[in-house]
Structure 1
């Protein structure tokens, strides 16, 4: 992999990590188009770049959440935990993200090998892209957008967490599945997107820690390409977050549903013919 290829892959991964069109599917496409062999180490670098982007974008919210989370722990011995969670939206959000991460973690441990085996199956990738489109379409049809953070509970966080876990499948967009789940549950549109982005942080950290050893073994041989891809992915991911938050506030997600349907159908046709 040369520097130009790494930059192209980084941009594609960064954009599709947070736009609801499935980064896993597009990484399959772009690596095949460029004739580049998939690399677990490079994939880890790109996900860490996404982490840098989302942490940078939501740094103020995250700082508030960390402080509020620590404060809520102090509330436990005083018997004020429930009251604090009800009154402080950042305390509530921090705990909701913690609980919402559990389903994806369990599903990753149980089904990771099965879903990873589908990454070379273009028919499966195309099918799951169509599923992503249906989720986006359906959520836009039924969304009420009237529930705020104070209306979110454990059930809501777990359902959205399960949706995140389903994104292990190539073609199921993590952001698409979680945002759609939030909209199905009636969350305010911007809240559904913000919660989706924040919910990605623990999972990306966990995946990075598991795979971080892979990075050191290859950095010495291809450092320039890896660094270039990392920077390109981080910048693209940051812009994707900013763009999607603007779109979800001002417009519909249907454009992404149509995109997933078209690309998914073309992928299925290609897999059958070739």
Structure 2
């Protein structure tokens, strides 16, 4: 992987990680259309560390309060029912599904899940689900209404993003909207929930960087830094946007991209396994 390729993929990662359009799908599609090798699940996971650092900085005050309250709740009874402490425990609960499924499906994540036909299909299907959830979901709950079953529901939706095309934020926001959470609250929990899962996945995949067919350390670090800078700007824009607008533009984009990808694959213009090696 060259430096220019890494920079472009870092920009793509930063632009698409927090929008409900799937960053892993866009990294996969960008590489395939450009004639590059599939950047691979390890590269994707490591560059996502950059975007999650953007989350940590953007929500630093909120995360600091959650960590403080959660820590105190371990040994102080007066903090056991503190809203921030509850949210900390529910982030842990919501992280369980993706950890379990990520380990169980590790081989599929690096192989069959990266087929472009599957990517196109889930872009369309989960786009439609997002539209239904956003159109008909009630907007009456905030994060104070979060429960263990709801946290697990968010968590299983996040775990679906192990398949490129689902979108971690899109799947989690869809679940939140179906459960009646406001757009901003569903998005905020989606971003917070992603931090331990993505950081854990990225750290786990660090051992693959520079080995075998995986990209070298230099380009991977560049892509991660670029993803951080772009991702921070996207978070700020999205949190302001969803307070006044629906997710419909993202739904239409997902469907159009999925259809285009299917056309390219089934007309033979694009190999569904394009770029299997770095």
Query: Is the TM-score greater than 0.5?
Result: yes
In the other structure, the counterpart of 1:185 is 179
* Separation in structure 1 between the aligned mates of residue 45 and residue 25 of structure 2, nearest angstrom: 16
Query: Does 2:247 match 1:253?
Result: yes
Question: What is the CA-CA distance between 1:216 and the residue it aligns to?
Answer: 6.2
Is there any run of 5+ residues in structure 1 with no aligned partner, and where? Answer: none
* Separation in structure 2 between the aligned mates of residue 208 and residue 252 of structure 1, nearest angstrom: 31
Question: What is the CA-CA distance between 1:40 and the residue it aligns to?
Answer: 5.2
* Separation in structure 2 between the aligned mates of residue 230 and residue 25 of structure 1, nearest angstrom: 17
Name whichever structure is richer in helix by fraction. Answer: 1
Query: Does 2:200 match 1:200?
Result: no
Change (3 A) 1:132 1:31: same
In the other structure, the counterpart of 1:5 is 5
Question: What is the CA-CA distance between 1:224 and the residue it aligns to?
Answer: 4.5
* Separation in structure 2 between the aligned mates of residue 233 and residue 151 of structure 1, nearest angstrom: 33
* Separation in structure 2 between the aligned mates of residue 25 and residue 212 of structure 1, nearest angstrom: 20
* Separation in structure 2 between the aligned mates of residue 156 and residue 222 of structure 1, nearest angstrom: 40
* Separation in structure 2 between the aligned mates of residue 63 and residue 122 of structure 1, nearest angstrom: 40
Question: What is the CA-CA distance between 1:217 and the residue it aligns to?
Answer: 5.4
Is there any run of 5+ residues in structure 2 with no aligned partner, and where? Answer: 269-278
| Contact map agreement 1:44 1:215 (CA 8 A) in 2 | no
Matched ranges for 1:1-274 at <5 A: 1-37=1-37, 38-39=39-40, 42-75=43-76, 78=77, 80=78, 84-85=80-81, 88-215=82-209, 222=216, 224-274=218-268
Residues 4-35 of structure 1: per-residue CA shift (max 9 Å, x gap):
21111001011111110011111111111233
In the other structure, the counterpart of 2:276 is none
| Contact map agreement 2:7 2:223 (CA 8 A) in 1 | yes
In the other structure, the counterpart of 2:274 is none
Consecutive aligned runs of 4 or more in structure 1 exceeding 6 Å deviation: none
- Residue-pair matches, total: 265
Say what the alpha-carbon RMSD is for the aligned residues: 1.9
| Contact map agreement 2:173 2:190 (CA 8 A) in 1 | yes
- Normalized against structure 1, the TM-score is what? 0.90
Q: Which moved more, 1:57-66 or 1:113-122?
A: 113-122
Q: Which moved more, 1:221-230 or 1:118-127?
A: 221-230
* Separation in structure 2 between the aligned mates of residue 227 and residue 168 of structure 1, nearest angstrom: 22
Residues 30-71 of structure 1: per-residue CA shift (max 9 Å, x gap):
111233322555334311111211111111111111100011
Change (3 A) 1:227 1:104: closer
